[in-house]
Amino acid sequence: MSQEPKEKVFADGFKFTPKRDDQPDFVVGKLDLELTKAIPFLKKNAKVYNTKGKDGEEVKLYYVNLEVKIGRSGNPYVELDTFVPQKKATEQTQEVQQSDSGLPF
């Protein structure tokens, strides 16, 4: 049984530019964020992972995973990583609500 490819979700407000030829080898490129677009995109696509902190109390971690890819045109773009691993029985994942409540940004 094959899965249909998921629709690409381009990361609004994120722009990756490869390094210039005159930059050192350890530079990969530059990531520009347009905050008026990036912050709403992050809020909309954030996942919350519940875990235990060092003191044993429950802690919520907010993640948005992005991938930098090269398009058919040869230009880089930033895409939302929509990969969903199979959940473990102890892992609890919930979608972040659209409201600003509890978000760290």
SS3 category, 53:
coil
Classify residue 96: in a domain, yes or no.
Answer: no
Residue 76 lies in a domain: yes
Residue 33 in this model has a pLDDT that exceeds 70: yes
Tell me, yes or no, if the pTM score tops 0.85: no
Indicate whether 29 belongs to any domain.
Answer: yes
**pLDDT top residue among 86 and 77:** 77
pLDDT of residue 86: 75
- Give the range of the structural domain holding residue 52, as residue numbers without chain letter: 14-89
